[in-house]
Amino acid sequence: MPEKSAGEPGRAGEGEGGDAMMNNKVGAYFTYWAEKYNTDYDICVRKAAALGFDAIGVRGTGIVEFSDGKKDATRRLAEDLGLKMNFVAALADHDIASEDADSRRRGVEYVKRILDAVAYMKGDLLAGSFYSRWHGALPAGVTDKTPWLERSARGMREICRAAADHGIRVSLEILNRYETCLLNTAAEGVDYVGRVGADNLGLLLDTFHMNIEEDTLPGAIGTAGRLLSHFHLGEANRDVPGPGGHIDWDAVFKALGRVGYGGIVEFEPFVVMGTEIGGNVRLWRDLSGGMDLDEKIRRSLAFVRERMAAA
């Protein structure tokens, strides 16, 4: 299945309605190897290429602070190694859904800065949960999210217009209840995309978050359908995908084939405790099993490619 062009943002492909062989690019998010969020992504780029990945995900909120020279060097490295680069962002200090107008304005402007950096690096996708503040919660006693969704959608329209000016697709990650209060299911994501009404807006589903919130993973993938524009892989405990976990990977990949998903399938596991990143995702035990990290993810990559081919 060929990868879709940037001219068809947020759309899956021609395979909708029947099973289709998956031939997607497989990527890795940099956090598997990094201890800190603001890090030298070049190390992770080299690791991903050496292990046979097709793509590398990096932090948009990291590259926005890079000099142009550093952006150029990292982009050229990925290109030279044959890796497609995509970008993920979240808002920790701003909130485009906030009741505070200044926080909303600063959030929108910050995401625009990230989009400028992504465009400079010739990226065509910005994914993440910047529809609200990461780890945001509703006020006590509130049961109607509508005002927060409407404020967020207004800001997202402005973000999507800025992204469209750069030829960039926006892909919003659906998170579990412990990380956001706004979009916890694929159905809520589809409703939100409808509120925004932007052609370059799609959804990012993540098997870890879906395992917590959705009735079934294939059902959630079917609900997202043609809006699915990025996809994260991780076991129910955030380990690398494998044959011994809770998640039925055959069912996941068959569902992706049915909706004709043509985007990147990206590993986002977290297995090492005691780091800034491990603490931030609340990882309080070692999941490496004493195995070399590169060997662990190499075996997982072979498993994923095998199951994707079977789908």
CATH at residue 63: 3.20.20.150
- Catalytic residue from among 173, 179, 214, 235: 173
The answer to whether residue 294 is domain-embedded is yes
- Catalytic residue from among 35, 235, 268, 295: 268
pLDDT of residue 65: 93
Given a contact cutoff of 8 angstroms between Cβ atoms, the answer to whether 298 and 51 are in contact is yes
Per 3-state DSSP, what percentage of the chain is helix, strand, and coil (rounded to 5)? Answer: 40, 15, 45
Mean residue pLDDT of the chain comes to 92
The answer to whether residue 4 is domain-embedded is no
Q: Which two tokens stand for residue 90?
A: 């979240």
User: pTM of this prediction?
Assistant: 0.91
Q: Which two tokens stand for residue 144?
A: 């109607």
Which of 52, 56, 86, 55 shows the shortest CA–CA distance to 303? 52
pLDDT of residue 20: 53
- Can you list the residues of the chain whose pLDDT is less than 50? 1-18
The answer to whether residue 17 is domain-embedded is no
Establish whether 65 is a catalytic residue: no
Domain enclosing residue 298, as ranges: 26-310
Number of domains forming the structure of the chain = 1
Q: Where does residue 274 fall: left (phi above 0), alpha (psi -120 to 50 degrees), or beta otherwise?
A: left
The answer to whether residue 145 is domain-embedded is yes
pLDDT of residue 245: 87
pLDDT of residue 244: 86
Establish whether 235 is a catalytic residue: no
The answer to whether residue 156 is domain-embedded is yes
What is the Cα gyration radius of the chain? Answer: 18
Q: Where does residue 37 fall: left (phi above 0), alpha (psi -120 to 50 degrees), or beta otherwise?
A: alpha
The answer to whether residue 10 is domain-embedded is no
Distances (CA, A) of 119 to 137, 170, 294: 31, 12, 30
Distance CA 242, CA 138 (A): 36
Distance CA 9, CA 164 (A): 10
Q: Which two tokens stand for residue 62?
A: 């990291």
The answer to whether residue 9 is domain-embedded is no
The answer to whether residue 221 is domain-embedded is yes
